[in-house]
Amino acid sequence: MGEWRPSACILCECNCGVEILVGPSGSFDKIRGDRLHPASRGYTCNKALRLDRYQNGRAERLTRPLRRRPDGTFEEISWESAIGEVAARLGALPGESIFYYGGGGQGNHLGGSYATATMKAFGARYRSSALAQEKTGEFWVSARMLGAPTRSDVEHCEVAVFVGKNPYQSHGFPRARTVLKEIGRDPARSMIVIDPVRTETAELADFHLQVRPGTDVYLLTAMAAVLVQEELVDEDWLAEHADGLSEVRRTLSAVPVSRYCATAGVEEDLVRAASRRIASAASVAVTEDLGVQMNRDSTVVSYLQRLLWLLTGNLGRQGTQYAFSNLAPIARDRGHKVGEGPVSPVAGAKIISGLVPCNVIAEEILTEHPARYRAMLVESANPAHSLADSPAMRSALEALDLLVVIDVAMTETARLADYVLPAPTQFEKWEATFFTFDFPRNIFHLRRPVVDPPDGPLPEPEIHARLVEASGALPPEVVEPLREAAARGRAAFAEAFLNTLGARPELARLAPVLLYRTLGPTLPGGAAAAAVLWSAAHGFVQENPAGVKRAGYGEGLEAGERLFDAIVSSPHGLVTTDDVQEETWRRLKGRRIQLHVPELLAEVAGLADRPEPAGDREWPFVLSAGERRAFTANTIIRDPDWRGRDTGGALRIAVSDAERLGVTAGDRAMLTTRRGSVEVVVEPTDRMRPGHISLPNGFGVDHLDPEAGRVVTGIAPNELTSGQDRDAYAGTPWHKHVPARLVALAEPR
């Protein structure tokens, strides 16, 4: 028999706790939910049960550093050569021309937390990640309206509202499927789903507002207008907590609700009933996701959905929205007004939460501008596949002076690199995620290695430490005294570390690597990668003293040490804060809510002057490029055998459209967008609106087959998307609204 070992799923932001039965050869013989995990409590969906295909599947695993030869092939080199050559080539470039992309996927953030030291060591300023494909508009709106990010207490709400989100497949909160079913069974609770697809979540809903693709801004404006025009806003609550109601009321009072409902393709009576249900509820939790965040008017939609719950007073109570604690904040924005704040050096695109919009990266490279990006360090990411307009992105990566990739497998991006640096899988190293959004009891889970890595790869903290040392930015004479202090105990180390940074404040930018090299070796079980969490734990205690105390760690410096020790010694995860509802208001720092965001309210007012959305004879379909389904996830599972259904990733199409085109299930068709054409297999379904089609996410990556060689399964959605189709404010892509046409093929080509 093997041994059950705790870990976590790495396929979505929830990172549910799992236990893995490891066989003698390192196989994952069984996987089950971890009942001791404080957030998921034994829950898991079907996807986590297939993680053996990530660890032991048919991926082209990297075990040695690779260097590209002049003829385009790769050769193995030593780590000493790889680090030395990469550091020398980075050091020869202007720091501002070095661009960092990635830093961890859904489950691996710990290694990426060391990348900030590498960026500072080489003078890099600009970075991005997948968050800039999805969430930056929402981050900016939250900063403008509230001054802090918020999440929704779906588990305890009376009314749950999902805007462009199918949590039955995408999750987004703990125990999602269980919670959805609980709401669906409870006659006192309601669920409202805004989605053009009749998703699994929509089938459980009391109100499915099956909006016409790309018209969410009209629907949400109509809903907010119903609240104002029918006098359903919470006047007393708003007077106590918010400013800007008069401006919002003036704009929404003039909204033609009937017209906007017709534009959105949803019956007015249904829209009004759903809006009234929100207004009548004791608690409402509203959640948005990629269906609107990767769609037209995404930033305005983020603003409007917040108006729904703010106008009805749904903040700071159980079952509503809350401001959460966060051990290592991954997305904080200052909410600069349009025209203010940092921008990218070539395209002048707004930088939100420190992230350059993904859709301008190719533009920033493919230019003769002197400030263009000339080098990229890509870590645990695959921009050649995952960013809009893959052909343009590949051209951009090939045009760089230097491309360095840190990854587990030979991805599409790695094959374009000058150097490929191999890392262990997420189950072969100490790892963690910083997607920690729970309330009132927030959770953190430092995961231990489940299996030993093969000989060759280095964990990301070690790679970054070696690059920083090779840059010459970290003087050896600083490191040794801190190592000696760490050997004497944590108190001696803390004093020495703070004194060192006080005397040499420029070293603070290298603190992650400095901690890794000094405190790291003293941590038990080889947990050196967790060293960066020591400073995070102390900062967290200062930010959240009451919640930390209620969680049982005490106060002050001792609380920071207790919390850090608990993190390192808790293989199933632990509670970091135990909050009361008032903590939301404290985290807003006494700030009044700003209902009036001038730029966005002007967009709402201007809807009345927009031309009515009309069909396009050349492009009669709207393609959603990247739908989440039962067997899709991010692309780190490159082995297609992990999928139990829909193994080829069929194009879903409305039954009526299929009949008009003369196609049935399994037939092939030619799908064309402005960026390209691909053959697809058709799956007619009654879940889709006429004119709306969808391809799943997670397809279009390849694997090596012993007999067939390199095999690609399914369609890579970003072969069909355009970098120019993006949000006017955040630059996020319109992957869910791609104009397309579809032609039946009588014979396979």
Task: State the pLDDT at residue 550.
Answer: 98
Which CATH number do you get for residue 17?
3.30.200.210
Q: Which residue type is seen at 269?
A: D
- The overall longest dimension of the chain from CA atoms, in Å, is 77
318 and 173 part of one domain? yes
Query: With contact defined as beta carbons under 8 Å apart, do 446 and 570 qualify?
Result: yes
Task: State the pLDDT at residue 747.
Answer: 62
49 and 155 part of one domain? no
163 and 293 part of one domain? yes
Task: State the pLDDT at residue 168.
Answer: 97
174 and 237 part of one domain? yes
Tokens found for residue 626 = 């990247």
168 and 23 part of one domain? no
Position 682 in a domain: yes
* pLDDT (mean) for 416-435: 97
How high does pLDDT run on average in the chain? 96
- Bigger pLDDT: 663 or 59? 663
252 and 221 part of one domain? yes
Task: State the pLDDT at residue 729.
Answer: 96
Which CATH number do you get for residue 698?
2.40.40.20
Position 705 in a domain: yes
Task: State the pLDDT at residue 590.
Answer: 83
At residue 500, φ and ψ (nearest 5 deg) are: -65, -45
658 and 699 part of one domain? yes
Q: What is the pLDDT of residues 83-105, one digit of tens each?
A: 999 999 999 999 999 999 998 87
* pLDDT (mean) for 206-216: 98
Q: What is the pLDDT of residues 305-317, one digit of tens each?
A: 999 999 999 999 9
160 and 303 part of one domain? yes
The radius of gyration computed from the CA coordinates of the chain, to the nearest angstrom, equals 26
The C-alpha angle 333, 308, 230, rounded to 5 degrees, equals: 150
22 and 159 part of one domain? no
Tokens found for residue 681 = 């297999």
Position 455 in a domain: no
Distance CA 152, CA 439 (A): 9
Confidence of residue 390 (pLDDT cuts 50, 70, 90): very high
Q: What is the pLDDT of residues 62-79, one digit of tens each?
A: 999 999 999 999 999 999
Distance CA 611, CA 218 (A): 12
Q: Is the peptide bond before 598 cis (omega within 30 degrees of 0)?
A: no
Query: With contact defined as beta carbons under 8 Å apart, do 573 and 445 qualify?
Result: yes
The three-state DSSP-derived secondary structure of 169-189 is HHCCCCCHHHHHHHHHHCCCC
Which CATH number do you get for residue 189?
3.40.228.10
Contacts of 683 by beta carbon, 8 Å cutoff, 6+ apart = 646, 650, 651, 652, 653, 665
Q: What is the pLDDT of residues 5-33, one digit of tens each?
A: 999 999 999 999 999 999 999 999 999 99
* pLDDT (mean) for 255-267: 98
* pLDDT (mean) for 500-509: 95
For residue 234, what are the domain limits? 151-322+593-605
Task: State the pLDDT at residue 473.
Answer: 97
Domain final residue, candidates 19, 35, 55: 55
Distance CA 739, CA 622 (A): 5
% the chain with pLDDT above 90: 93
* pLDDT (mean) for 475-487: 95
Closest C-alpha to 65, from 468, 376, 467:
467
Position 263 in a domain: yes
Q: What is the pLDDT of residues 118-168, one digit of tens each?
A: 999 999 999 999 999 999 999 999 999 999 999 999 999 999 999 999 999
723 and 597 part of one domain? no
Contacts of 438 by beta carbon, 8 Å cutoff, 6+ apart = 39, 174, 324
Environment class of 704 (CB within 10 Å of its CB; exposed 0-12, middle 13-18, buried 19+): middle
Position 202 in a domain: yes
Environment class of 696 (CB within 10 Å of its CB; exposed 0-12, middle 13-18, buried 19+): buried
Domain final residue, candidates 55, 70, 96: 55
Position 410 in a domain: no
Task: State the pLDDT at residue 704.
Answer: 83
Distance CA 93, CA 112 (A): 22
Least confident of 126-130, 194-198, 473-477, 708-712: 708-712
Contacts of 662 by beta carbon, 8 Å cutoff, 6+ apart = 744
Task: State the pLDDT at residue 511.
Answer: 97
% the chain with pLDDT above 70: 99
253 and 303 part of one domain? yes
Contacts of 273 by beta carbon, 8 Å cutoff, 6+ apart = 207
599 and 719 part of one domain? no
On the question of pLDDT at 1 being above 80, the answer is no
Q: What is the pLDDT of residues 321-344, one digit of tens each?
A: 999 999 988 777 888 988 899 999
Q: What is the pLDDT of residues 180-207, one digit of tens each?
A: 999 999 999 999 999 999 999 999 999 9
Distance CA 504, CA 502 (A): 6
Tokens found for residue 392 = 């343009």
On the question of pLDDT at 388 being above 80, the answer is yes
Task: State the pLDDT at residue 748.
Answer: 47
Task: State the pLDDT at residue 749.
Answer: 45
Position 281 in a domain: yes
Position 703 in a domain: yes
Query: With contact defined as beta carbons under 8 Å apart, do 44 and 16 qualify?
Result: yes
Domain final residue, candidates 11, 26, 55: 55
Number of domains in the chain: 3
